[in-house]
C-alpha cells in the first residue's frame, strides 16, 4: 500500500512531464488558431488529487485528497463546496479547480481538462455557467443544468480524439471506457455533422450562434430527445440492465439532425459560409 504522498509525487511529476504533450494534443485537435487560449488555459492548473484506488467509505475526505495548493485554500474549498465534489474526477468551474485521480487515469484527466477548456462563467452570483452545450443556472439554492448528458457525451467523444492525438505524439496511452459512451449511438450523426462547430463552441462559448444556425426549434427538439433517451439509458445502467439503444430512438434523433443540417446549409448559403 503506497502512502498517498508517494502517489501524489508520482502523479504530479508525471503531469509536469507530460503537460507540454497534452497542450500540443489539444492544439492539434482544436486547431492552431486557438493555441494561445489553450496554452493559457492549461498552464498553472489548480489540482486536487483524490485517491481513486483505495477509496474508503466514511474516511475523512482530507485523508483521501492531496494537493500542492496551500492547505488554507483547500480548506476553504472544502467548506465552500459539497465534499462529494472532491471524491470523483471533476472540473469545478466556479473555483477553477480540477479534481483528478491519483492513479493518473489519462482518460479522466483529458476529459476534465476539456471541461475546463469549455468553461465560461457568465455570473458567479447567482451562478451561471455555459460549458460546451451545457447551461447551468443557480435557482433557489440549487444548480439546474440543461443538456448535461448531451454535453458529457460530446466531451467524451472529443476526449477520445485528443487521446489519439497524444498517441500520435508518441505517448503510451492506457485508455479506460466510461459511462458516456453508452450515449454515443444517439449522438454519432450530430457529432460527425457538426464536429467543427462543436469545437468552436467549446472554445468560444458561442452556443447561441450555433443554435441560430441549426434552428432554435430543431435544437430544442434534438436536445429534448437526447435528454429523455439518455435518462432512460442511465436508469437501465443503474438497474444493471443492458444499455442498448433502440434503433427506433436513433432514427428519431437522426431525423432531427437531418433537419438541423438542412437549416444550417440554408443559413450558411445566406451568409456565404461553408456548407456541410
Ligand atoms: Zn464530464
- pTM comes to 0.95
Instruction: Write out the three cell numbers for 47.
Output: 489540482
pLDDT reported for residue 167: 97
Smallest CA-to-CA distance from 222 within 182, 264, 181 is with 264
Surface-to-core class of residue 161, CB atoms within 10 Å of its CB (0-12 exposed, 13-18 middle, 19+ buried): middle
Q: What is the pLDDT of residues 191-221, one digit of tens each?
A: 999 999 999 999 999 999 999 999 999 999 9
In the reported structure, the alpha carbon of residue 264 is separated from the centroid of ligand 1 by a whole-number distance in angstroms of 28
In the reported structure, the alpha carbon of residue 269 is separated from the centroid of ligand 1 by a whole-number distance in angstroms of 35
In the reported structure, the alpha carbon of residue 60 is separated from the centroid of ligand 1 by a whole-number distance in angstroms of 25
In the reported structure, the alpha carbon of residue 125 is separated from the centroid of ligand 1 by a whole-number distance in angstroms of 23
In the reported structure, the alpha carbon of residue 149 is separated from the centroid of ligand 1 by a whole-number distance in angstroms of 9
pLDDT reported for residue 88: 93
The C-alpha atoms of residue 245 and residue 230 are separated, in whole angstroms, by 9
pLDDT reported for residue 2: 65
pLDDT values of the chain reduced to their tens digit, one per residue, 276 residues: 568 999 999 999 999 999 999 999 999 999 999 999 999 999 999 999 999 987 777 778 888 999 999 999 999 999 999 888 899 999 999 999 999 999 999 999 999 999 999 999 999 999 999 999 999 999 987 899 999 999 999 999 999 999 999 999 999 998 899 889 999 999 999 999 999 999 999 999 999 999 999 999 999 999 999 999 999 999 998 999 988 899 999 999 999 999 999 999 998 887 777 778
In the reported structure, the alpha carbon of residue 112 is separated from the centroid of ligand 1 by a whole-number distance in angstroms of 6
Q: Starting at the edge strand that comes first in sequence, how are the strands of the sheet with 128-131 ordered?
A: 119-123, 128-131, 134-139, 142-146
In the reported structure, the alpha carbon of residue 270 is separated from the centroid of ligand 1 by a whole-number distance in angstroms of 36
In the reported structure, the alpha carbon of residue 196 is separated from the centroid of ligand 1 by a whole-number distance in angstroms of 20
CA distances, 261 to each of 118, 151, 157, 230 (Å): 23, 19, 20, 22
In the reported structure, the alpha carbon of residue 153 is separated from the centroid of ligand 1 by a whole-number distance in angstroms of 8
Smallest CA-to-CA distance from 4 within 72, 58, 57, 56 is with 56
In the reported structure, the alpha carbon of residue 145 is separated from the centroid of ligand 1 by a whole-number distance in angstroms of 13
Amino acid at each position: 500500500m503506497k502512502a498517498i504522498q508517494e502517489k501524489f509525487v508520482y502523479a504530479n511529476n508525471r503531469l509536469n512531464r507530460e503537460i507540454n504533450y497534452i497542450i500540443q494534443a489539444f492544439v492539434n485537435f482544436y486547431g492552431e488558431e486557438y493555441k494561445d487560449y489553450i496554452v493559457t488555459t492549461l498552464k498553472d492548473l489548480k489540482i486536487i488529487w483524490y485517491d481513486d484506488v483505495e477509496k474508503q467509505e466514511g474516511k475523512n475526505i482530507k485523508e483521501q485528497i492531496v494537493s500542492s495548493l496551500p492547505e488554507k485554500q483547500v480548506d476553504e474549498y472544502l467548506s465552500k463546496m459539497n465534499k462529494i465534489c472532491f471524491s470523483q474526477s471533476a472540473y469545478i468551474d466556479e473555483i477553477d479547480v480540477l479534481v483528478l485521480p491519483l492513479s493518473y487515469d489519462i482518460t479522466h484527466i483529458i476529459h476534465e481538462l476539456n471541461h475546463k477548456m469549455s468553461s465560461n462563467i457568465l455570473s458567479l452570483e447567482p451562478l451561471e455557467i455555459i460549458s460546451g452545450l451545457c447551461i447551468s443556472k443557480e435557482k433557489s439554492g440549487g444548480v439546474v443544468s440543461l443538456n448535461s448528458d448531451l454535453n458529457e457525451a460530446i466531451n467524451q467523444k472529443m476526449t477520445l480524439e485528443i487521446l489519439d492525438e497524444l498517441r500520435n505524439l508518441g505517448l503510451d496511452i492506457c485508455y479506460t471506457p466510461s459511462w458516456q459512451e453508452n450515449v454515443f449511438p444517439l449522438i454519432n450523426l450530430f457529432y460527425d455533422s457538426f464536429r467543427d462547430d462543436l469545437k468552436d463552441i467549446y472554445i468560444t462559448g458561442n452556443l447561441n450562434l450555433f443554435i441560430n444556425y441549426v434552428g432554435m426549434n430543431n435544437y430544442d427538439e434534438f436536445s429534448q430527445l437526447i435528454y429523455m433517451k439518455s435518462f432512460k439509458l442511465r436508469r437501465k445502467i443503474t438497474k444493471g440492465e443492458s444499455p442498448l439503444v433502440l434503433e427506433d430512438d436513433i432514427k428519431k434523433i437522426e431525423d432531427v439532425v437531418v433537419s438541423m443540417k438542412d437549416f444550417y446549409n440554408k443559413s450558411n448559403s445566406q451568409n456565404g459560409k461553408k456548407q456541410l
